[in-house]
Structure 1
Amino acid sequence: MHEGDHHLLEVAGQTETAPRHAERPGAPQTSVRSVPPTWALWRGLWRRGLLPAGLLLLVLIALIPGIDALAGFDVAVIPMLLGGIAIGHPTLVTILERRRVTAGTLVIIAIAGSAYLGEYLAAAVVAFMMLAGEFLEEITLQRTRNAVQELVRLTPDVASVERDGAWVQVPLHEVRVGDRVLVRPGERVPVDGTILSGEASLNEASITGESMPVDKTNGAHVYAGTTSQSGAIVVRTDRTGRDTTLGRIIQIVRAAQDQKGATQKIADRFAVYFTPVILSIGALVWLVTSDLLRVMTVFVIACPCALVLATPTAVVASVGNIARRGGLIKGGVTLETAGRVTAVAFDKTGTLTQGCPVVAAVVPFDGRSARDVLQMAAIAEVRSEHPLARAIVEHARTAGLSPADPEHFTMTFGRGVEAAWNGYRIEVGNQRILAADDPAADVLVAHERQGRTALIVRVDGHPWGVIGLADAVRPQAREVIASLRAMGVGHLVMLTGDHAVTAEAIAREVGITDVRAGLLPEQKLDVIRELRAAG
């Protein structure tokens, strides 16, 4: 982006002009989602992909014996002109706006001089190599842009807002601070806000990293990008667009993507000094020899094609090699610093764990079998859409059970579910469905100390057993931690938005001693900065 383009907002490689009213309190904020114009997409595709490929094809055609005689002119003129224009325009803009001579300046001079001498093919090859280097670098950048695009997709395009006493669908960027927004079951929350009425079970993994849904009701805060898995709520809008927690996360990720690796920075600095030096040498050669061919030879040989190609080529090759082995490197800055790593921070949900709840234990009471407890729990939960309910039903089916459909089903927010089947009254819920002095409460507490979510199963008012659910640890997690320690990485830390008890249980299982729990994404970034400052 040029310095003069600071008034543009870029999100996931897309741009939109910032409205002047965006800074006024109560005015609609710019959405984190924007649609690029068609011409911008085609310009990017032409510049970054089709143009280098087209130049290569034309250069190869120009090498065909007799092609110039057949065409009636030197075919190499075509790729030379196309490449020269593609490089010359942004170079000229940079010189005029930033008052700085760049490596592109030397390339343009070399192309122009070669054209003057009739060496059209040499000029075309120089242009192709320059554009090919930019294209290879663009490939590595596109991998990181995908991360932002995934975050942008977390926000809905529209929101249900109260207008004149009715709920209407409006574009997200028209939602104002103070608006009442309706979030139905299965919908994503479009804004940061406070619940005014209703109750819902929200999946906040995209913000906090916590794999288990959180039950929220009046007065609780909600975040844009989270999902209501059950229940409907009315939310008062507190923040929109870029000001939401998700919007700030996107800005943080984009800022990290803009950072160049050390080698890339050295290449940029080298190009700044290299170009004036070569221009001076060319001037000296002209003064001594008065031979333009010799001057152009200096410029063509000194063209920074190798400089432009070296870093992106190495990065692309390394990223591809690692990808074939199941790894993902986000760009040059990550790749270059990997060899100097002394500390590694792991996210919990989806990194060390599978990211979804599974049944970890079934504890029956009074001589009953685990299958009996699981069967009753699955019957009660088979109609529920809650993630814990789905985990129980799936575990029962894996164990060879076939949960029957209950005759009656009700769900009580914050407590659990109740069902009637074949004359039985079945309850599955948390400790709120137990009396304060019920001995089963001790079993629930024991499971919770192990980082599990514990549910009691009661039939006709009598406890039948306890089911413990947890986010399962990935099988390779402990081995990876051990391998890092063996490689000399001394400081391993786990960062999570989950509760401390759950986080510490997972950390013990994988072999990590430093645990930071209850963190929002911005707080996780603060920990990363702390580790970086400590060396």
Structure 2
Amino acid sequence: MQQFILGKKNQITVISGILIVLGFFSHFVLHNLGLSQGSLMIASVFGVAPIAIQAYQALKVKVVSIDVLVTIAVIGAFLIQNYEESAIVTFLFLFGHFLEQRTLNQTRSAIKELTDMAPESALRQLANGEFVEVDVDDVDEGDILLVKTGAKVPVDGTILTGEGHINEASITGESVPASKTIDSAVFAGTILENGTIQIRADRVGEDTTFGRIIELVEEAQDSKSEAERFIDKFSKYYTPAVLVLAFVVWMISQNVELAITVLVLGCPGALVIGVPVSNVAGIGNGARNGVLLKGSEVIHDFSRVDTIVFDKTGTLTIGNPEVAEKEIYAENVNEVLGYLASVERESDHPLAKAVLTNIGTTTFSTVEETEVVKGGGIVAKVNGHRIAVGNVALMEKENVKLSKKAQADVKRFEQNGNSLVLTAVDGNLQVLMGIRDQIRPGVKNDLEGLRKLGVKNLVVLSGDNQGTVDLVARELGLTDAHGHMLPEDKSAHIEKLQKEGQIVAFVGDGVNDSPSLALADIGIAMGSGTDVAIETSDVVLMNSDFSRLPHALGLTKATAANMKQNIIIALGVVVVLVASLFFSDWMNMSIGMLVHEGSILVVIFNAMRLLKFRLKGNRNNVKTGVKEIVTAK
């Protein structure tokens, strides 16, 4: 019976409202006092039923909830034959709950949109080459799948054939479709806007990026922040305190109606709902914009960060070395570059790949007598010429003389933070290349955005040489830079900063970053990083989009401020109502309950502003064409 009544709460609200209208119509129009009081009495009984059941369930687990206060107040008003007050209070309480649930569902819509985007079926290739539609849960790793125009990509995978443009907004928050070709990675839940592709399933089910996003967001919703834990403790003592206050008021004044009114006015409805709804709205905004916030505790801590420490490679830089500077000393340039490319094609070293990419299309020759010189480079024979490719130490070993210009170039390249690749043909230096990782486009503006949000220290820690790290730090205007850092050195430096009283966030993407991500007050992982890095982090920037970092920090600051605003609104309303009761003549139960329900909607709508939060000036707004909206403090 209890579950039946609670399940019909909305219908009871409607019936109660109709009976109240009938009661007042009978009183003021029909002048039928009996019908009026009868209607209001029935409305009171109907309305109090679900509230009393919830109060009873709360008392069974030793919790004195808001429902207890309202139930006592309504029963008291009914006993003193104040049927108008008892009927109106129950209706407003139930109607307020209806509006509260409806608006709360809107704040959770960002999360629901994610789950609705989850693919349900896939076209899997059979042994005979045909494709049949199967449930996405039946897809295994290694299966070949067909994705047609307009369809959702069912799993994380790699394109084997075909090309097209994929809308990855569900993963990255980026509305501009990404161009995909053979060997490109694709993600479950994204949409192929044009083209037809065949993919190999690399991750399926809950292991897909999309599945992990939903799991992390759902876990985040269930977590509690410091503010929520405060509210829980506060409510535990607050509700009994209101009961005691009402009893004291009755003992002193002998006025039952006044005591009952104190119970109604003391209901902390907005206080209980205000913080959780801010938390859900903030996490929902992050999920829509490519930022995973793993819980409301993360929101609280991240909003207070004053120092951000970065790994260099793959975080501040792209992670793919490129030829940044080049000097040619040879007269027969194309021939020498062909020799160089032929030798480098024998190696899988990242620097060799950078050299080949820079040279591009050329004529390859047969390479013979290849010798790998440990810590130096490669020496080989090409078309009868002795080719040496490597660093300065290899040139010295090969007795290659460097001219004054070449020596000056080497020094300049090193000062610019380059790794050097020198090429000699038959003992003569022909080519000098400086290779370095490229800084991510727009990172400097993003770092400036972090400073504007109150971050005082921006630090880079890297295993790379100090010269390269210093170059990156100078170019980006970082506060501090340290090179030659092993994973344990990074962790030790973070501990040192924390002991100095700084609240530290660490941004990284590799397995070697995991200790630092776990140790920092807030660990921030790039979404394309390793699984270990993502699992040990508190915040994930999907698709490794660095521009999401200022948005994430701005969002957490706005959410934390929103929680405080809602607490102030809720407590302020209670104080004003109670003060009005004792120091004015116009306050009564009905007005008090109406103001209470209004305050609940105010804190909910205040929190819902977070769903439209956009950080002013963030380059990502320009890129996606989203109108800039500031809904922060």
Q: Which one has a bigger Cα radius of gyration?
A: 2
Indicate the structure with greater helix content.
2
Which structure exhibits the higher relative contact order, with contacts defined as CA atoms closer than 8 Å and separated by 6 or more residues? 2
TM-score, normalisation: structure 1: 0.47
